[in-house]
Chain A
Amino acid sequence: MSAEETTEDFDLVVIGGGPAGLTAARDVAAAGGRVMVVDENHAMGGKLRGQLHEDPADSSWWKGWELAEQAEKDAVDAGAQMMTDVVAWGLEPGWTVRLTYPAGRTGGPSQLTSRAVLVATGAVERPMPVAGWTLPGAMTIGAAQVLTNIHRVKPGHRVLVVGMDVLSLTIARAMQLAGVDVVGIVLPPTTVEGSSPRATLSRLAPMAKLAPARYMRLGGHFLGWPWVQALASRLVPRTLRMWGMPLQLRTSLVVIQGTDQVTGAALVNVTADGTPIPGSEREVAVDAVCLANGLIPLNELLATLDCSFLRSPDLGGTVPVHSDTLRTQLDGMYVAGNTIGIESAKIAEKQGALVALSIIDDLGLSSRRGGDAAGAALDLVGARRTMEFQFDANVQRGHDDVQRAWEKSGGRA
Chain B
Amino acid sequence: MNDHMICRCEDVTASDVRAAIDAGACNAQEVKMRTRAGMGPCQGRVCRPAVEAMVGVSGEGVLQSTSSMTVHLPIRPVSLQDLVIIREQ
Residues on A facing B (Cβ under 8 Å): 2-5, 40, 87, 89-90, 98, 100, 102, 104, 110-111, 124, 126-127, 129-134, 191, 193, 255, 296, 298-304, 308-311, 317-318, 321, 405, 408-409, 413
Contacts and interface: CB of A to CB of B under 8 A. Distances in A.
Contacts of B82: 2-3, 100, 110
Main secondary structure of the interface of B (DSSP, over half): loop
Contact of A127 (B46, B61, B79, B81): B46
B6 interface: yes
Nearest to B14: A129
Nearest to A109: B85
A296 B45 CA distance: 10
16 contacts: A2-B81, A90-B74, A98-B73, A110-B89, A126-B49, A127-B49, A134-B8, A300-B43, A300-B45, A301-B75, A302-B66, A304-B72, A309-B64, A310-B61, A311-B63, A318-B66
Interface residues on B, range: 35 or more
Given A308-B63, A310-B63, A129 B75 contact: no
A304 B71 contact: yes
Interface of B: 1-6, 8, 14, 43, 45-47, 49-50, 53, 57, 59-67, 71-79, 81-82, 85-86, 88-89
A302 B64 CA distance: 11
B4 A90 contact: no
B28 to A, nearest CB: 12
A321 B66 CA distance: 11
B71 to A, nearest CB: 4
B50 A129 contact: yes
